[in-house]
A and B are shown apart, each in its own frame.
Chain A
Amino acid sequence: MTGEQQLIEVLVEAAEALVDGFDVIDYLHTVSERCVDLLPVEAAGVMLVDERHRLRPAAAFGESARLSELLELQADAGPCLQVFRTGAPVVSAELEADTGHLLGFVEEVGFAEEARIAGFASVHALPLRLRVSVIGALALFSSRPGPLSDSDFRAGRALANVATIGILAQRDTHQPELLAARLQQALASRVMIEQAKGVVAERLGITVDEAFAQLRLRARDHELHLSDLARDVVRSSGLPDA
């Protein structure tokens, strides 16, 4: 099979998993495995951002016994953290002697040292990106130094996207940023509804409970969301007709 055919196989496999329903960790494990099959790397892992905004290993595949440690380490240093911070892929972070010194961080030297001990000569990291935010990274470890070829890089990007799609399909609404925004939105609309009750009660000289009944009736008649109607009532101080 050519590389392209293999990649198509992977996409078909991923699509089937998405349709059938799946366990996300299992899915990410498969993606890591396919990275090793398709790319000139011996190990691969997926890092995800947790609720506390820290990178955590989610799945890994490879020969090295130290692989999970190398992933753990990237919460604090290394190419995955760099990807998470900048959103840009890190290709061929070579682990020759002084790379870390060039980067200027002792942490980076530490990571490079650990990766070298594990037998790797280069590490690549690709972002798992959802629009503008980075939700994680795909780490690729190779025993050979040097960059990925253009076609390997593209294949790696495709695999990173396959991982992203799986994560999104699973957690869709489980993204902390989204959740925080939705929670605030929901609370804001609660406030707005109470204020709208007060506005209507005062204008019509009725109780707040009666005002709420009026608002609900009007929302239903005009097929509006109660929170949208409430916002209009409060913002324009516009009076819904009794």
Chain B
Amino acid sequence: MPPLSSEPGREIDQALLNAAVERRRAERAAEIAARHEERMAAAAEGMRAFHGRMASTHRHVEQQHRTAARIHTVHAERLRRWSRGPIDAKEQPGLVQAVAETLGASGAALTLFEPETLMAASSPASRTAQCLEFALGQGPARASVELCGPVIAAGPQMAIAWPIYGPAVERLGIRAVAAVPVVAAGASLGALTVFDPPRAHGPDLEAFEAAAGTLAVSLLSSWSASEADGPSGRPPLVDQGDLWVVLNQAVGMVSVQCGSSTADALALIKAHAFAEDRSVDEVAAAIVDRTLRLG
């Protein structure tokens, strides 16, 4: 569905505004860091460590804001290219694609848990990988949420960490995965998975965390803005994401077919997909089309 003509323009403006805000915050943090670095040189013995630590804290904060600014800038640029291109050429680029490009990864995916409802992926391959994690109930996003920290695995490590998911994503041509929690106001919302992160200088977990923070802020701030505009609006991230619509319809149907809870119905659908080596999407579509019954 092509969006209203004013929509991309507004999103571009918003992205540029976000980038400017983040840049300003980065500069502010840099100023504070510089002041502490300056003081460190002149400080008494006991205070040197303090100024050193303050400087490094604010340099870290600075980097976080710089990464966020880059993501918003890339997003604005992608939106601009897209809006100039042929109508209906492709779907409107989402923030997750800007994240993948900024991090130099082959793909990225945002998953929201509690409930496990939303998934926004930057590319078809990322989407397939994220669906695998969803169907198999194992993988980096889930692990990082459970650990409340970053998770990274490359090559054979993937199969060791996740015996089914690992080999399956390797078959998709993905050689490494990383995931960091997406946290807002201390509450865990979900995880950001990064596929094939650049590894020349080791994984840049700080950049991943900054990207996760950017997504969280974007989710919540656009959510509040949309609430102010009226109940119909939703954050672009939510609208562009996958809400597992057909799957949940199938879950409702199977719960009646089997006289089970919806949780059990979902487990049944996943198990069926795994046993038949089909995707959860396919199985769900077949159930809703009534070409497949479970129970």
Shortest CB-to-CB span from A18 to chain B, Å, is 18
When A51-B216, A202-B257 are in contact, do A191 and B244 touch as well, CB less than 8 Å?
A: yes
- For A169-196 the 0/1 string (1 means CB < 8 A from B) is 0010111110111111011101100111
| A154 contacts the other chain (CB 8 A) | no
| B92 contacts the other chain (CB 8 A) | no
A53–B185 CB distance below 8 A: yes
CB neighbours (8 Å) of A49 from chain B are 185
Shortest CB-to-CB span from A51 to chain B, Å, is 5
A199–B115 CB distance below 8 A: no
| B253 contacts the other chain (CB 8 A) | yes
| B213 contacts the other chain (CB 8 A) | yes
Q: Which of A173, A191, A202 contacts B248 (CB 8 A)?
A: A191
How far is B223's CA from A174's CA once the two chains are assembled, in angstroms?
9
B253–A201 CB distance below 8 A: yes
CB neighbours (8 Å) of A187 from chain B are 112, 115, 117-118, 238, 243
How far is B254's CA from A209's CA once the two chains are assembled, in angstroms?
17
A183–B219 CB distance below 8 A: yes
CB neighbours (8 Å) of A69 from chain B are 32, 35
- Please list the residues of chain A having a beta carbon within 8 angstroms of any beta carbon in chain B: 49, 51-53, 69, 72-73, 76, 106-107, 109-110, 113, 171, 173-177, 179-184, 186-188, 190-191, 194-203, 208, 234, 237
5 pairs of residues in contact across A and B, judged by CB atoms under 8 Å: A180-B184, A180-B187, A183-B220, A198-B252, A202-B257
| B250 contacts the other chain (CB 8 A) | yes
How far is B224's CA from A203's CA once the two chains are assembled, in angstroms?
38
Q: Which of A73, A176, A188, A194 contacts B245 (CB 8 A)?
A: A194
When A174-B224, A183-B219 are in contact, do A195 and B50 touch as well, CB less than 8 Å?
A: no
Mostly, the B contact residues are helix
CB neighbours (8 Å) of A106 from chain B are 46, 49-50, 53
B57–A201 CB distance below 8 A: no
Q: Which of A176, A184, A188, A202 contacts B252 (CB 8 A)?
A: A202
B47–A110 CB distance below 8 A: yes
- For B152-184 the 0/1 string (1 means CB < 8 A from A) is 000000000000000000000000000000011
| B276 contacts the other chain (CB 8 A) | no
B50–A51 CB distance below 8 A: no
B253–A199 CB distance below 8 A: yes
Q: Which of B51, B220, B254 contacts A179 (CB 8 A)?
A: B220
* Nearest opposing residue in chain B for A106, CB measure: B50
B251–A198 CB distance below 8 A: yes
